[in-house]
Amino acid sequence: MNSFSRSFYLKVGFYSLIAVLFFSCSGENELEVKIKSIPVNIVIDRFDLKFYNANPEEYIGLKKTYPYLFPAQYPDSIWIKRQRDSIQTLLHAEIKNIFPSLSTIKTDLEDLYKHIKYYFPKVLDPHVVTVVNNVDYQSKTVFTDSLLIISLDTYLGSKNPIYEGIPNYIVKDMGLPYMMAHIVDELGNVVVKTPKDRTLIAQMIYYGKKLYIKDLLLPSSSDEIKISYSKSEIDWVSENERYMWQYFIENELLYKTQSSLSLRFIDPAPFSKFYLEIDNDTPGKVGQWIGWQIVRSYMDKNRNITLEQLLVIPAKDLFNKSNYKPTK
């Protein structure tokens, strides 16, 4: 073969490879193009600044405009005292330092809500309200069909001295990269029904469905962000998936209903509780992670199933049809 022929075939091979890559990704790209064309209107209402800077007359107006932020059981004196206490002053200063602008949050919300409206068309453009809530990390975001509340003081970064004393397994996702994932968590609470079935496998698949929603709504996010794991924790569950599953099977735990199983394997925790020497090496909520893999396995094998159908299929049926068999 002469040099011309060799060059010709190399070029053909190169362009063939490019074509294969292009067409293999074209379906996903077409979907993302369609999603990104969906109009959304995101306006961030800085209640946190309005409240902090309000004079007495403005304070009365805020109570009328935002009644859902002023529970009736608390007298005005509580709010007025809180308005200027040392904790509020410190948190506002830190928010100003960490978030000199909310433009990144606005951009992230626009992208997220395009995806939300594609998969859940009935969801409205949100009224986004930012608050300071004394670092209540159990209520970082609040989601309804038309209202989104974001506590900015819970996203100052895991290493921020303000969070000193909060356990690491809680504080590790208290940063901006996790905000959109937390919002999808709240959406999941609305669209995925809490199972009446109290078995461990039902709990696993419940959380697996919620995590799978993140696969669709946050396609650019890593698994670490979606489940609030570190890279080393993702590596651990991936490398030990087969052994964890074997443990659940051999100990006949999948159809047990003891509440202690949720504490051991489902709920956020510094580590999971297999009652083995390796426990301190494990991340918490490994049951959620395995449930996620089961749902992914089901969807891979049932590509004609819509998201709407996925969300209502009973856990037992989904599990049986997933043919989940970890091999790693």
Structure tokens belonging to residue 231: 């890279």
> Are residues 71 and 132 both part of a single domain?
yes
- Quick check: is 17 in a domain? no
Instruction: Write out pLDDT tens, residues 198-227.
Output: 999 999 999 999 999 999 999 999 999 999
With 80 as the cut, is the pLDDT of residue 7 above it? no
* Orientation of helix 3-36 relative to helix 103-119, angle to 10°: 90
Region of poorest pLDDT, from 20-24, 66-70, 200-204: 20-24
> Are residues 98 and 49 both part of a single domain?
yes
Domains in the chain, number:
2
Percent of the chain with pLDDT over 70: 91
Confidence bin at 57 (pLDDT 50/70/90): confident
Confidence bin at 27 (pLDDT 50/70/90): low
With a CB cutoff of 8 Å and minimum separation 6, the contacts of 184 are: 112, 210, 213, 214, 217, 218
- Quick check: is 125 in a domain? yes
Region of poorest pLDDT, from 32-36, 54-58, 95-99, 140-144: 54-58
What's the pLDDT at 28? 65
* CA–CA dist 254, 246 (Å, integer): 11
What's the pLDDT at 9? 40
What's the pLDDT at 3? 44
- Quick check: is 245 in a domain? yes
With 70 as the cut, is the pLDDT of residue 314 above it? yes
Confidence bin at 17 (pLDDT 50/70/90): very low
> Are residues 166 and 275 both part of a single domain?
no
With 50 as the cut, is the pLDDT of residue 8 above it? no
Mean pLDDT of the chain: 91
Question: In terms of Cα–Cα distance, which of 233, 217, 216, 251 is closest to 288?
Answer: 233
What's the pLDDT at 315? 97
> Are residues 218 and 293 both part of a single domain?
yes
Confidence bin at 82 (pLDDT 50/70/90): confident
Q: Which of 133, 156, 191 is the last residue of a domain?
A: 191
Percent of the chain with pLDDT over 90: 84
- Quick check: is 225 in a domain? yes
Question: Average pLDDT of 24-33?
Answer: 73
Question: Average pLDDT of 285-306?
Answer: 97
- Residue range of the domain that includes 128: 43-191
Confidence bin at 1 (pLDDT 50/70/90): low
Instruction: Write out pLDDT tens, residues 315-324.
Output: 999 999 999 9
> Are residues 54 and 175 both part of a single domain?
yes
202 vs 74 pLDDT, higher one: 202
> Are residues 70 and 176 both part of a single domain?
yes
Q: Which of 191, 222, 252 is the last residue of a domain?
A: 191
**Residue 29 exposure: Cα atoms within 13 Å on the Cβ side:** 6
> Are residues 267 and 144 both part of a single domain?
no
Question: Average pLDDT of 92-118?
Answer: 97
Question: Average pLDDT of 242-249?
Answer: 98
> Are residues 150 and 250 both part of a single domain?
no
> Are residues 95 and 136 both part of a single domain?
yes
Q: Which of 150, 171, 191 is the last residue of a domain?
A: 191
What's the pLDDT at 36? 95
With 70 as the cut, is the pLDDT of residue 18 above it? no
> Are residues 180 and 275 both part of a single domain?
no
Question: Average pLDDT of 277-296?
Answer: 97
What's the pLDDT at 83? 86
> Are residues 232 and 165 both part of a single domain?
no
Instruction: Please give the C-alpha separations between residue 11 and each of 14, 57, 95, 107, in angstroms, as whole numbers.
Output: 5, 74, 55, 41
> Are residues 176 and 209 both part of a single domain?
no
- Quick check: is 26 in a domain? no
With a CB cutoff of 8 Å and minimum separation 6, the contacts of 231 are: 224
DSSP secondary structure letters along 190-243: HHSPPPS--SHHHHHHHHHHHHHHHHHH-TTS-HHHHHT--HHHHHHHHHTHHH
Could you tell me if 211 and 223 are in contact, meaning their C-beta atoms sit under 8 angstroms apart?
A: no
- Quick check: is 16 in a domain? no
Task: Please state the φ and ψ torsions of residue 15, each to the nearest 5 degrees.
Answer: -70, -30
